[in-house]
Amino acid sequence: MADSCTLRRSFMTLILEESPVLEEIVVKGYEKVLKVTDKKSGLKAIICIHNTSLGPALGGTRIYPYATFDAALNDAMRLAKGMTYKSALAQTGLGGGKSVIIASPAKKTKELLYAFGQAVNLLEGQYICAEDVGCTPEDLKIIREATPYVVGLVHDKSSGNPAPYTAWGTYRGILSVLQKVYGSSSVFDRTVAIQGLGSVGSRLAELLFWEGAKLVLSDIDQEKTANLAKMYGAKAVSPQEILKVECDVLAPCALGGILSADTIPALRCKAVAGCANNQLLSDSDGDALLKRGILYAPDFIINAGGLINVTEELAETGYSPTIARAKTHKLYDELMKIYQMADNNKISTHAAALSLADYRIKYGLGKRNSRVQISHAR
């Protein structure tokens, strides 16, 4: 799941009168990958649907200035595949998808976002988009003007920013690794090193602070790092130092691919439990962590709180924050099952999680049996 994707593809332009233009990129193992362009707005994007065996694809829209189209495509594919596994293990009754808009978040325009919404709408519910890096609830509001297939809106029938739920699920995941490693889930006096202080990472720091954890913080924004370190009595370190800090738990909360053959030998933690997607550069890195005796909370389980929250918008009874909270709370139990499964089979926790997800997908466990209900479209 974490391995870089081989980009063997051919293009088929979808003949559509509407703007924008969608071109299908045929990629083995993926149901639909679309290159999206719109000359008027300057939109260049990719919508990637990996697997819809359990339900329509849902995944965030990432806005990022990728250096090349292939870099954007590879990221979209990795993220979409990760969403398939995340949805299967969280039993949301959804499939895996992701989209990326190739642009600087600072330069996004209303026209660009609206054109992207038009592209999503052309898929007629095959893909449902949400917030991601560079894409805010305010951006989703603009996308919503062109399509109802959006979740995570600031709306009385929607769930808003999913970051608090992702942070809570990550916190629960940290409790699970501490329970497994030390026999106690208490974070009091435990050292947690957080890489990335964005919407989720900063909330996670607050939760840990109030429960008595010792914090080591790092972010590319040095001013933010310094301010939060002062607020929480934490140690601030550079992005280059954070992966080498001695700690009980390393919490990657930035971009993915940070655990690799180059970085794993230098880790000085007992466990890795963070909210970043695709933390392993390759699947084999899960085995490398096992060999080093470092417990890994698979990212596509521990960071599922946001997905669980927005999924509740699709319930027939409408969105319920208390149900979303209860389901997110149970990520602790799901992770404990994975640790036991890994021990029983003498495999990495990453391999155990993939195996369980593949089983659920193959046999349709948790498949959605009712149509998706978009609360804010009613």
Q: Is 367 a catalytic residue?
A: no
How do residues 207-247 score in pLDDT, each as one tens digit? 999 999 999 999 999 999 999 999 999 999 999 999 999 99
Distance CA 39, CA 45 (A): 12
Q: Which band of pLDDT confidence, cut at 50, 70 and 90, is reported for residue 2?
A: low
Higher pLDDT, 167 or 6: 167
Tokens matching residue 298: 């698979």
Cα dihedral 111, 197, 149, 54 sign: positive
H and E: helices and strands count for the chain? 12, 13
User: Which SS3 state, helix, strand or coil, does residue 171 take?
Assistant: helix
Distance CA 240, CA 222 (A): 12
Tell me if the bond preceding 20 is cis, omega within 30° of 0. yes
Sketch out the chain's domains with CATH numbers.
11-87+95-144 (3.40.50.10860), 163-362 (3.40.50.720)
How do residues 151-174 score in pLDDT, each as one tens digit? 998 777 778 888 999 999 999 999
User: Which SS3 state, helix, strand or coil, does residue 103 take?
Assistant: coil
Q: What is the pTM of this model?
A: 0.89
37: left (phi over 0), alpha (psi -120 to 50) or beta: beta
Cβ within 8 Å of residue 83, ≥6 positions away = 50, 57, 58, 59, 95, 96, 97, 98, 300, 307
Say what the pLDDT of residue 42 is.
97
Tokens matching residue 59: 């995944």
Residue of 32, 44, 86, 98 with catalytic role: 98
Say what the pLDDT of residue 116 is.
98
Question: What percentage of the chain reaches a pLDDT higher than 90?
Answer: 87
Question: What percentage of the chain reaches a pLDDT higher than 70?
Answer: 94
Calculate ∠ Cα 248-272-298, nearest 5°.
150
Say what the pLDDT of residue 7 is.
43
Q: Which band of pLDDT confidence, cut at 50, 70 and 90, is reported for residue 185?
A: very high
How do residues 49-97 score in pLDDT, each as one tens digit? 999 999 999 999 999 999 999 999 999 999 999 999 999 999 999 999 9
Say what the pLDDT of residue 1 is.
58
